[in-house]
Structure 1
Amino acid sequence: MLLPSNQILTAAQMRRAEEELMDAGTSVDALMQTAGRGAAEWVWRISGGRAVTVLCGPGNNGGDGYVIAQALLERGGAVRVIAASEPGTAVARTARGFYHGEVTGPDGGASGEVLVDCLFGTGLTRALSPEHTALLAQLAASHPYRVAVDLPSGVDSDTGQPLGPGLPAYDLTVALGAWKPAHFLMPACAQMGALRLVPIGIGPAANAAMLIERPRLHAPDADAHKYRRGLLAIIGGAMRGAALLAASAAQGAGAGYVKLLGDVPAPDDLVTDAQPLANALLDTRINAVLVGPGLGRDATARERLTLAVAENIPAVLDADALVLLAPRLLAERTAPLIATPHEGELAALERAFGCDAGGSKLDRARDLARASGMVIVAKGADTVIAAPDGRLALSPRASSWLSTAGTGDVLAGTIASRLANGADPFTAACQGVWLHGEAARRCPPAFTAGMLAAAIRSAYAASCD
């Protein structure tokens, strides 16, 4: 079951969720008090008695700002409100009426320690006016610590795209009611700092995307053996290092048996099978196949990919396999497939499967999953997972040190290991992405892909009950 704290809502879904609360008897004023006072808790902790400036816009996000300011005032905080314009909604006007502190206009000028941005929030679809842009920039420059309430002003909540230039960065973003896609999509998420969520009573929403959280993994059963834990076959290719990285990660991610198919040198703890690939793939004990890391793009690579997808075995396709993949190769398949494209490979797959490359990364991953029948892991600084049945998941921001060669091979091996271990494809993808991000968090700066692969083991341990 998708918990409310894990769900990610679009602007339209958020409006419907709030309407359901109001239909059930909660007033819009009560919702604003809950949201604003919840956000004020975080501002109070951060400010530590330092002067706070709250920038309020004309809409409901501005109303949240007045509630925050009043809550701080009641605690004895030093707070000042700057009204970019007069409240334009009834609920914002009510919140303004309950605030008993100082309010100045946009020309009043202010400096302080903490800026709370309540100018605009979820649902904004147009760029900030030049006046609002200049005011926000001036206040951001004069306050060393900046907090965005719900979303930074000027960000599209559904796509994570800035709606205009010159938007400031924040140290903390406090989401109200539910996470929004922009909290986890580039480029906006890189400017949001730490993320915190204030619940307001919203229940599970239909067709909501989910935030990937720590999976509940476990040690093998007492009577387990290597085949029961899953046999993963990794198909080698022209560049053996990539397949070895994937295999190392897979060994730490739960599969009981990892075998490299190909006549290549390998560590002593990795079994290799040098017989012809068509024969090796006839082993009925194989639970999953990984093809792509180090595969190459020549005729031999194309043949190996064709053989891999011809066998009706759950599979993960990565790297070169995604560039070589043609829809006709999947025509007879019924076993599940997971594809792990980066941006360039995503575009290649969209061309191959006739998808429109427009829209947000969420839209693109979902459309490709439906067109191809594969679970899509659109990886990168923001990672989106989409299933053919419409399920969506987003990953929290991971370490930027992942931007080094070979980390994609580690991710592919980790996901394939979870698939071989018995997880369904969407779950395997989510678990693999979490383990990959957690392993990166445990590595020192400037880590290598080999160090990341070795850290998958400790990430798995951290996920065990």
Structure 2
Amino acid sequence: MTDKFPSVLISPASMAKVDRDAALSGLDSYGLMRRAGFAVAAAALRHYPEAVRFVVLCGPGNNGGDGFVAAAALREAGGNVRVFSLGDPGQLRGDAAKAFADFDGAVEPLEAYRQEQGDLVIDALFGAGLSRDLPPSVTDIIDRLAEVDVPVLAVDLPSGLDGATGKPRPKAFQAQHTVTFVARKPGHVLLPGRGLCGEVEVFDIGIPRRIVERHAGIVGINDLAHWAAMLPRLSDASHKFTRGHLTVFSGKASATGAARLSGLAGLKAGAGLVTLASPGSAVLVNVSQTTAIMIRTVDDIDSLQDYLTDKRMGAFVLGPGFGIGEKARAFALALAERRLVLDADGISSFKEAPESLFDAFASGETRLVLTPHEGEFARLFPDLAGDDSLGKVEKARAAATRAHAVLVYKGADTVIAAPDGRALVNANAPPWLATAGSGDVLAGIIGGLLAQGTAAFEAAAAGVWLHAKAATRLGPGLTAEDLASAVQPFQAETDC
């Protein structure tokens, strides 16, 4: 197994273009299919040496062709192989027809399959290009396998899973392992697809890098390759004033903790200075709970405007524990010329008039980072949230373009999207990161990177990755306080 493109996500439509150009370049397309099928057979033997019977379910297209090649290889290796076909395999075309012709064995109708103890099911029915709901003959097998302990190894993607969105159509196999080719597809990393794929292995079947990169597009997996070179680096000449000043707005006296979490995370992420802009009624609470973070009284729009006369105040976090309403809207709009992470209450405050926020940040460089969870996303973008034809990546990209902002569409499969169409899907977050206050920490990390001069998209993507890395270091049972304290700046020497 050689994953040559660990940061790449190829949509099903783009993968079809890769296959087309590979054939046009002179590569033997059937040779590529044989390599794919051999990889599936090798994975089956490696992961399931105890299998009593290799059951290969072959579909009506090239995924089925991969299955026939795998079945032939498993028979050659001495395996007990049974092949079941959806439809008449004699109607296959192209390379899939060649694979069927080269398989010297019996083929039974799909409906004839009955699971037995010791089966390994190799699902080669439909791959990433599935664009319709599964037929009842397939969903019946999915239902039956869900009730018994029979492992499934999926070819390309578990059948029924939309390769572009990660959504079942209307259901999909639950695979223990998935073998895919060239690069991952969005369905491998977006939920619920990620959970249905099990362990994903990417095999290089010999398509040249130049062809893959021609069609890879601007959607990928969030990792160092996309932003590490853009992050600030310390030098002997660095000092606190060269590392930027982050301001985090605090809420009222009874709701100050969220802002302090953000402020500490921004400081730990490398900002040289952090100030909590606090209402006067909460100053004593904040002063008693902070040391390295400074406190400044900012009660109203006039005191904020006075604070903004210092042009060194370049990055802000507004929303954690701040309260929903007119004050939040006024403060956010007053920051339209600065770099702003708008989170939580800050987002919800614009539910009735999101266009006023979008218009305020429409010109110049991208300065606004929005960090909504599912509910907050629906408040700003109700039409996108309600469009079931769109996947999470498509929703985030459309929202980023509309808002003139970087979108951090949070969840276990957080998507980071830029107004220019770039998008990354995060895949390094552990499940225990879902805890109260975790989002406040994330907002602070992104704000700390913005304060140091990192561009908005890279700051957001790096912030999401660093947030998850800190959680991984801590392990299960973490609290938001633990998480904020565990944040570390990116270190090229150890993180690459």
> TM over 0.5, yes or no?
yes
Q: Is the 8 A contact 1:57 1:86 kept in 2?
A: no
Question: Which of residues 203, 213, 216 in structure 1 aligns to 2:223?
Answer: 213
CA gap 1:32/1:218 in 2 versus in 1, 3 angstroms = farther
Deviates more, 1:20-29 or 1:216-225: 216-225
Partners in 2 of 1:73 and 1:280 — Cα distance?
A: 75
**For 2:201, which of 196, 215, 218 is the aligned residue?**
196
Q: Which residue of 2 aligns with 1:255?
A: 271
Once the 2 structures are TM-superposed, how far is the Cα of residue 374 of structure 1 from its aligned partner?
A: 0.5
Q: Does 1:93 align with 2:97?
A: yes
> Deviation at 1:379?
0.9
Report the CA distance shift for 1:356/1:185 in structure 2 as closer, same or farther (over 3 A): closer
Check conservation: 1:113, 1:143, Cα contact below 8 A. no
Partner residue in 2 for 1:152:
158
- In the alignment, what sits opposite 1:272? 295
Is residue 381–residue 397 contact of structure 1 (8 Å, CA) maintained in 2? no
The match for 2:9 is 8
One-letter identity of the residue aligned with 1:186? L
Distance 1:274 1:188, change over 3 A: same
Q: Is the 8 A contact 1:158 1:180 kept in 2?
A: yes
Point out the more displaced range, 149-158 or 75-84: 75-84
CA contact (8 A) 2:63 2:127 kept: yes
1:431-446 pair list within 5 angstroms = 431-446=462-477
Which of 235, 243, 248 does residue 249 from structure 2 map onto? Answer: 235
C-alpha contact (below 8 Å) 1:39/1:198 kept by paired residues: no
Q: Tell me the distance in 2 between the aligned counterparts of 1:32 and 1:417.
A: 48
Give the stretch that moved more between structures: 103-112 or 28-37.
103-112
Residue of structure 1 equivalent to 2:72: 70
Alpha-carbon deviation of 1:7? 2.1
Checking the alignment, whether the CA contact within 8 Å between 1:237 and 1:295 is kept in structure 2 is yes
Structure 2 unaligned regions, length at least 5: none
Matches of 1:173 and 1:282 in 2, distance apart?
A: 56
Is residue 363 from structure 1 mapped to residue 394 from structure 2 by the alignment? yes
Counterpart among 310, 313, 322 of residue 347 in structure 2:
322
How does 1:1-400 map onto structure 2 within 5 Å? 4-51=5-52, 52-87=54-89, 88-100=92-104, 103-106=107-110, 107-111=112-116, 112-139=118-145, 141-165=147-171, 167-200=172-205, 201=207, 202-204=211-213, 205=215, 207-214=217-224, 216=228, 220-238=234-252, 239-262=255-278, 263=283, 264-265=286-287, 266-274=289-297, 276-309=303-336, 312-325=337-350, 326-333=354-361, 334-335=364-365, 336-351=367-382, 357-358=386-387, 359-396=390-427, 398-400=429-431
Q: Which aligned runs of 4 or more in structure 1 are off by greater than 6 angstroms?
A: none
C-alpha change, 1:177 and 1:295, in structure 2 (3 Å) is: same
Give the Å deviation of 1:75.
4.2
Residues 252, 460 of structure 1: 8 Å contact kept: no
Is the 8 Å Cα contact of residues 317 and 337 (structure 1) preserved in structure 2? yes
Moved more, 454-463 or 200-209: 454-463
CA, structure 1 residues 44+416, in 2 after alignment: closer, same or farther (shift >3 Å)? farther
Following superposition, the deviation at residue 340 of structure 1 comes to 0.8
Which of 384, 401, 411 in structure 1 is aligned with 2:442?
411
Q: Quick one: which amino acid aligns to residue 97 of structure 1? A: A
How many residue pairs end up in the alignment? 458
One-letter identity of the residue aligned with 2:212: G
Give per-residue Cα distances to partners, 1:221-267, cap 9 Å, x unaligned. 23211222222211222321111111222222232322222233332
**Cα distance change, pair 139–329 in 1 and its aligned pair in 2 (3 A):** closer
Maintained 8 Å contact 2:122/2:153:
yes
**What displacement does 1:389 show?**
0.8
Stretch moving more, 147-156 or 267-276:
267-276
Tell me the distance in 2 between the aligned counterparts of 1:74 and 1:421: 60
Letter paired with 2:346 = A
Structure 1, 407-416 or 356-365: larger mean CA deviation: 356-365
- CA deviation after TM superposition for structure 1 residue 445, in Å: 2.1
**Amino acid in the other structure paired with 1:133:** T
Partner SS, residue 335 of structure 2: helix
2:370, 2:142 → 1: CA distance? 42
Q: Do 2:314 and 2:339's aligned partners in 1 also have CA atoms closer than 8 Å?
A: yes
TM-fit CA distance, 1:121: 1.0
Q: CA RMSD in A?
A: 2.6
